[in-house]
Structure 1
């Protein structure tokens, strides 16, 4: 319902419904906030999505990994890569790691928009934050959700391996 209201441009109505959901308290607040963030992302109202996400944090509700994933994906799709990277860093600092889809998607978007060198810097910055690249899940994601450019494989994994692109 929130999604439909946001997509229809009925932001005020969506916010009223959001407030009502919070008042009822039958759903954990992180779930309610995350639903609103998702609805705004789907409606391409990214400023509102970020505002609600920050409001969630300001109200003492701790985002979970799924909350971050939705916001990061929405920001990537909306071309707001700097914000997506910033929230990914925040995700690390909150003790969460991006899943393969989030990681590959962000690297792919940065590579396409800013070039290979920036994507390589991003991967190195994740590694500097002790993000252990789960090679198996990332390879599976690249294989199943591709085709991804061989450049993405190289940016993530480095050197080529014989018999496979990387």
Structure 2
């Protein structure tokens, strides 16, 4: 019964809903009003008032009647959504969002939340799609943020700008959104920014998973910022968060100087 319910919940949305989701990527002249984080409304990704503008802004118009993707199989071993061949080709990625809708991105978010034990939040996300026929704003913002985060170190400012615009538009991030941001910044060796948003996760009552924490601490090791990493660990402990040693051992490659340095930083042991 539960499996059948999940399958019904994760059926692809209608073409009308996908077209509506595409409008989330449209630029608007005026800032969006305050609203619930689970409503579908125009979102601005116009960085013209910022110091630096991205070279490839998100698309400006949705596709007409895009074909919906095949039904999602929760227990399939295949990835929920295929990653782009070239994550730096933002034009292609934003085109895929516009023409194919955001269902794949919503499924990735559902998977991520579910794997972290946030099943209720994951189901609430899809309830909006099912009951309102609309794509939640958090999905659209996170999809754009993830595209910038995956595009390489040069685009970290665009990822942060997208996150800030998300907040200013009244859209609340979830744990998946924050994890994407932290891991993207860490991959680009932006240690200070990764620290900031990892701590913000805790301030928002979210518990970062091992993968997200390791991304931040491994970045500190790569950049020879071990003392800053230790300070981050202490701040996390003061906020009531501790890392499980066995979970960390299972979540990182057990070899090389990075592993030894991370284990020493977190638990005072080299291996």
Name the SS of the counterpart of 2:206 in structure 1: coil
Measure how far apart 1:9 and its partner are.
4.6
Alignment partner of 1:51 out of 154, 161, 164? 161
Pair member with larger Rg? 2
Q: 1:80-119, aligned counterparts within 5 Å?
A: 80-119=190-229
Measure how far apart 1:151 and its partner are.
2.1
Unpaired segments ≥5 residues, structure 1: none
Pair 1:39 & 2:120 matched: no
Q: Which runs of 4+ in 1 moved over 4 A?
A: 2-6
TM-score (norm 2): 0.50
Unpaired segments ≥5 residues, structure 2: 1-57, 59-82, 103-132
Measure how far apart 1:129 and its partner are.
1.4
Aligned-residue Cα RMSD (Å) equals 2.8
Q: Select the structure with the greater relative contact order (CA < 8 A; seq sep ≥ 6).
A: 2
Alignment partner of 2:89 out of 8, 15, 26? 8
CA contact (8 A) 2:185 2:191 kept: yes
Measure how far apart 1:95 and its partner are.
0.8
CA contact (8 A) 1:40 1:46 kept: yes
Pair 1:64 & 2:174 matched: yes
CA contact (8 A) 2:187 2:215 kept: no
Pair 1:141 & 2:222 matched: no
Measure how far apart 1:46 and its partner are.
1.6
TM-score (norm 1): 0.78
CA contact (8 A) 2:175 2:206 kept: yes
Q: Distance in 2 between matches of 1:26 and 1:6?
A: 27
